[in-house]
Amino acid sequence: MDRYPERAPRPTLATPERKKDETSAREPVATHRPQPSKASDSRGKKSKFLFGAAGIVVVLGLFWWFFGRTMGIPSYIETSKYQVVCLQSGECYFGKVSAVTSDTVQIKNVFYVQKATDASSAADATDASGNNLQLIKLGNEVHGPEDMMAISRSQVLYIENLKSDGKVTQTINTYYEQNK
């Protein structure tokens, strides 16, 4: 008994049957389309969700970068009044705080105190020890700065609101009345 049934001979290159078989193998089958599996469908939804979530994170990060770093003026600063900004170096600047960011404190209408050199210009202010001090407007220096300062927030010790009837506020108001 033969274990293998008889087989039909294989067509050779020269036989027309072989050419017929090759052409039928190359023709696409139009009736059979593979259906997407449930696993690939859920992977597509997950990837869309991940791309969407990543997009939202990027948009929020950019929004914070451009707008969130400026925290605005803190509630303890009264914008209708002048403020004093004292630094770790001991310098104090007077003016109106216009912005506070995570990096800087910005002041406009800036003045600073300097010891008076002659008696005629020393009438601006006198401290408790009897030293003659004068309030100098920023912008009249040799290098000609603009009337705005951006101070590193890490250098600021404190910011205080000035009373409207204090000597510094009165001197600043007098300066602006005389230089309209």
Any domain includes 92: yes
Any domain includes 66: no
CATH number at residue 120: 2.30.30.100
Dihedral pair phi/psi, residue 71, rounded to 5°: -85, -5
Mean pLDDT of the chain, nearest integer: 76
The number of residues making up the chain comes to 180
For residue 95, give the amino acid letter. Answer: G
Any domain includes 151: yes
Any domain includes 15: no
Dihedral pair phi/psi, residue 47, rounded to 5°: -70, -40
pLDDT classification of 38: cutoffs 50, 70, 90:
low
Q: What is the pLDDT of residues 56-106, one digit of tens each?
A: 888 888 776 666 554 566 777 888 899 999 999 999 999 999 888 888 999
pTM of the model: 0.54
- pLDDT computed for residue 47 by the predictor: 80
Dihedral pair phi/psi, residue 174, rounded to 5°: -65, -40
pLDDT classification of 172: cutoffs 50, 70, 90:
very high
Contact 145, 138 (CB under 8 A): yes
Any domain includes 63: no
